[in-house]
Amino acid sequence: MLKRKVLVAGGGGFIGGHLARALLQDPRVGRVVCVDIKPLDDWYQVHEGADNRVADLKDLAACRDACRGADDVYNLAADMGGMGFIENNKALCMLSVLINTHLLMAAREAKVSRYFFASSACVYNADKQRSYEVTPLKEEDAYPAMPEDGYGWEKLFSERMCRHFSEDFGMTTRVARFHNVYGPHGTWRGGREKAPAAICRKVIEAVASGRHHIDIWGNGEQTRSFMYIDDCIEGIRRIMDSSITEPINLGSSELVSINQLVDMVESFAGVTLERHYQLDAPKGVMGRNSDNTKIRGYLGWEPSISLVDGMRQTYDWIESEFHSHVAIQQ
């Protein structure tokens, strides 16, 4: 049996690094090409067994080079971060549309067998996310369109690009809408980190400094679901291998408030912190959760790693990174 050549666009990123590791362990895969715009020293994970390349996939020529000979393409490449980054960098987020457009063009030319696009729950209509007591979002709730400005619009448009490349050119495309992925080997400082990593870092900093307070964006009542990275990778592989032709939720259905997430991380550290609520900070929608009816129906599976188990592993990794970073600076 001929082994497959696989391209991971955004292979130097958080999810891309974990996906590349899983693909390298798959006996069906013979070669993994990882491409990212960041210098190799800035990649979250660099796997020796992969063909690691630095290139700007907003450029069509770079996409053609990356797709040459590929059987499968996983597009995880995007300029993005947590809510603070998304709300303040809408144009940069929108420019990621060039990556998906050019990758689709190059993948079609290269006669790629399957193409996966990583979309986001930010595509969902904002009117359905105005309450903390959220009704889980179903796939059809993306329309009528009112996504997150900038980042959400780019993801929704790119979903449509995948659909029309399938309809017009017969390409096999798969689209998953990620709901707040977290875990080790991700961004935990610098402004692009998401809530789970930011809260872990803030609690660790409070313990290390002896200043037992924490700044929380918003009033802490915002509700979310968070999916551990191992569930995300499992879901990506299952969706890619499936017959699912429509965009589908990939997220945990375990709903939690930001305050409850802080409670959990405080319990790991054995502290109780004074909370300072920053009501003028970016906080996103009031509530968001994943309706997993369709993914269960298609796959007989859904993300199931509990938040407490995933956050425990994430906290331990960030704590180790924090102390290593402090030691280097001293």
User: Domain 183-225+254-290+305-325 is of which CATH architecture?
Assistant: Alpha-Beta Complex (3.90)
- Which residue shows structure tokens 């699912």? 244
| Beta carbons of 12 and 43 less than 8 angstroms apart | yes
Residue 177 has pLDDT above 60, yes or no: yes
Which residues face 35 on adjacent strands?
A: 9, 53
- Please give the Cα distance from 306 to 168 (Å, whole number): 41
Write out pLDDT tens, residues 314-326: 999 999 999 998 7
3-state secondary structure string, 223-257? EEECEEHHHHHHHHHHHHCCCCCCCEEECCCCEEE
Instruction: Tell which wins on pLDDT, 50 or 285.
Output: 50
| Count of CB atoms situated within 10 Å of the CB of 300 | 8
Catalytic residue among 151, 182, 228, 315: 151
What integer pLDDT is reported at residue 133 of this predicted model? 83
- Residue 281's pLDDT is what? 85
Residue 15's pLDDT is 97
Residue 270: which region, alpha, beta or left (left: phi > 0; alpha: psi -120 to 50)?
left
Output the pLDDT for position 1: 63
pLDDT grade for 5, boundaries at 50, 70 and 90: very high
For residue 153, give Cα distances in angstroms to 141, 143, 150, 245, 289: 14, 12, 5, 20, 19
Cα separation, 169 vs 151, whole angstroms: 27
What DSSP letter does each residue of 76-90 carry, written as one string? ------SHHHHHH-H
Average pLDDT, the chain: 95
Q: For position 85, what pLDDT does the model report? A: 82
- Could you say which architecture CATH assigns to the domain 4-181+227-250? 3-Layer(aba) Sandwich (3.40)
pLDDT at 222: 94
**What is the bridge-based pairing of β-strands 255-257 and 223-225?**
antiparallel
User: Per residue in 133-173, pLDDT tens?
Assistant: 889 999 999 999 999 999 999 999 999 999 999 999 999 99
- pLDDT-derived band at 83, boundaries 50, 70, 90: confident
Whether 5 and 31 have beta carbons less than 8 Å apart is answered as yes
Q: Is the pLDDT of residue 224 over 60?
A: yes
Asked if 298 is an active-site residue, the reply is no
pLDDT at 113: 97
pLDDT of the residue at 80: 77
DSSP H/E element including 278: strand 274-278
Q: What ranges do the domains of the chain cover?
A: 4-181+227-250, 183-225+254-290+305-325
Highest-pLDDT range among 79-83, 88-92, 253-257 = 253-257
